[in-house]
Amino acid sequence: MSTLTPEILGELEHQAIELPSWAFGNSGTRFKVFSTPGTPRDPFEKIADAAQVNRYTHLSPTVALHIPWDKVDNYIRLRAYAEDLGVSLGTVNSNTFQDDDYKFGALTHEDAAVRRKAIDHHLECIEIMHQTGSRDLKIWLAEGSNYPGQADLRGRQDRLHESLSEIYAGLGDEQRLVLEYKFFEPAFYHTDVPDWGTSYVQVAALGDKAMVCLDTGHHAPGTNIEFIVMQLLRLGKLGSFDFNSRFYADDDLIVGAADPFQLFRILYEVIRGGGYANPDVAFMLDQCHNIEDKIPGQIRSVLNVQEMTARALSIDTEALAAAQKSGDVLGANAIFMDAFYTDVRPDLAAWRESRGLPADPMAAFAASGYLQRIAEERVGGVQAGWGA
């Protein structure tokens, strides 16, 4: 018996999950970066690899850039290259975490000259966005302090507001700023944008074109992330997701790998709050593939999101609402869990085939020989990676 109705399959057609260019480069931990044969040597090759994920899944039509990791001489050329391969360039991520000048902060720094440099970097990102056709500027700040007393917490928050205001003023009419929060790392005592509340306060003070970015790996263990999703949607301020999964810290593992049930709960609140297939809420991955092959790692990831979305869409919402209203605790929970436990994979495979896609994108990609080909072709040169 089919578990996915035509309505649900229709909803799934609108799913789009942006891929991070950096997922295709080498990455690792502070202990070791393992390199993979065939790793891209420049942003063009990262885009080519990302296009493979979309080719086999039709789930990832856009690719996010990170500047300066993806700096090129000609963004119009990069854009045309991507479009030839059937994908577009998406969110532009700024980077103020790999420059000596930013040791004590960037947008929050005590020194106006350092703040100027950091603001100018963001204005340059906006300029790039005009050329790449990107809507969103994503800002994640590695700013904070390690020791109590080290920094003036209040002064930094005020300076952050001033710096963000200047960046916000530089946005084009169709462009947005999304501010990502993270509770620790690289600073360990305090972080200047540690939580959704701080991000919300900062973006609310800017205006309608500023939203919050929720990275699923950036919360303390045990945090009820779906509650945050609900609240931000309720406030009209959920701009985007960075999906990944974590066991311990900011692990950047494959979304849905560590806790598929959490992903299901998050997606349920997205759907419930009107954030699904809503252009105001961008779905993105923010992951690194340290030991597994990168392209299959990304294919697995988008399939995981699709699978949990299908399960969340199949919740019997009327029955759930009735059970909630009547105080039927166990009944409501059973309705929720039934959808989570329903295996939608055979239905999704059949649906893919009906749309001219491989039933099993992982197997189809493996059989294509692409990995072997790039391993042979991309010898020599410096492999691009997280931070290169």
Q: Which residues bind Mn ion (CB under 5 A)?
A: 215, 242, 250, 286
Site track 232-251 with ligand LRH (rule: CB under 6 A), x = hit? ----------x-------x-
d(CA 170, CA 197): 24
Q: Which of residues 128-187 bind ligand LRH (CB under 6 A)?
A: 140, 180, 182
The distance of closest approach from Cβ of residue 185 to Mn ion in the complex, given in angstroms and rounded to an integer, is 8
| Min separation Cβ 218 and Mn ion, Å | 6
Nearer to ligand LRH, 182 or 352 (CB): 182
Judged by beta carbon, residue 93 or residue 306, the one nearer ligand LRH is: 93
Per CB under 6 A, 70 contacts ligand LRH: no
Closer to ligand LRH by Cβ: residue 23 or 348:
23
How far the first Cα of the chain sits from its last, in Å, is: 50
Q: Which residues 6+ apart lie within 8 Å of 268 measured at CB?
A: 226, 312, 315, 336
Smallest gap from residue 256 Cβ to ligand LRH (A) = 17
Q: Which is nearer to ligand LRH, 250 or 360 (CB)?
A: 250
Q: Is the peptide bond between 186 and the residue preceding it cis, with omega within 30 degrees of 0?
A: yes
Is position 109 an interface residue for ligand LRH (rule: CB under 6 A)? no
Q: Which does 93 bind (CB under 5 to 8 A by kind): Mn ion, ligand LRH, none?
A: ligand LRH
Q: How far is the CB of 180 from ligand LRH (least distance, A)?
A: 5
Given Mn ion, ligand LRH, none, residue 289, with its beta carbon under 5 to 8 Å by kind, binds: none
Phi (first) and psi of residue 62, to 5 degrees: -135, 155
Print burial letters for 32-49: b (CB count within 10 Å at least 16), e (below 16): ebeebebbbbbbebbbbb
| Cα–Cα nearest to 240, from 178, 302, 304, 312 | 178
26 binds ligand LRH (CB under 6 A): no
Question: Among all chains, which residue has been given the structure tokens 């530089």?
Answer: 170
CB of residue 99 to ligand LRH, shortest distance in Å: 14
Rounded to a whole number of angstroms, the minimum distance from the CB of residue 92 to ligand LRH is 11
Nearer to ligand LRH, 141 or 312 (CB): 141
Sole residue written with tokens 């609900």:
230
Q: Report the largest interatomic distance among the alpha carbons of the chain, rounded to a whole angstrom.
A: 66
**For residues 51 and 326, is the Cβ–Cβ distance under 8 A?**
no
CB of 345 to ligand LRH, least distance (A): 29
Q: Which is nearer to ligand LRH, 189 or 386 (CB)?
A: 386
# of chain residues touching ligand LRH (CB under 6 A): 9
Closer residue to Mn ion (CB): 44 or 183: 183
Rounded distance between C-alpha atoms, residue 352 and residue 361, angstroms? 9
Closer CB to ligand LRH, 217 or 361, in the complex? 217
Of all residues in the chain, what percent are helix, strand and coil, respectively (each to 5)? 45, 15, 40
Among 192, 286, 307, 347, binds ligand LRH (CB under 6 A): 286
CB of 218 to ligand LRH, least distance (A): 7
Nearer to Mn ion (CB atom), residue 331 or residue 387: 387
Out of 143, 192, 215, 307, which residue is the one contacting ligand LRH (CB under 6 A)? 215
Identify whether the C-beta of residue 238 lies closer than 8 Å to the C-beta of residue 225: no
Residues facing 190 on adjacent strands: 145
Q: Which residues pair with 253 in a beta bridge?
A: 245
CA 143 vs. chain centroid, Å, equals 20
Within 8 A by CB and 6+ apart from 374, the residues are 37, 38, 45, 49
Smallest distance, Å, CB 285 to Mn ion? 9
Q: Does 209 bind ligand LRH (CB under 6 A)?
A: no
Cα–Cα dist 257/260, whole Å: 6
Q: What angle do CA 118, 124, 127 make, to 5 degrees?
A: 150
SS3 296: helix
Residue of 27, 36, 54, 93 interacting with ligand LRH (CB under 6 A): 93
In the complex, the residues that contact ligand LRH under the rule CB under 6 A are 22, 93, 140, 180, 182, 215, 242, 250, 286
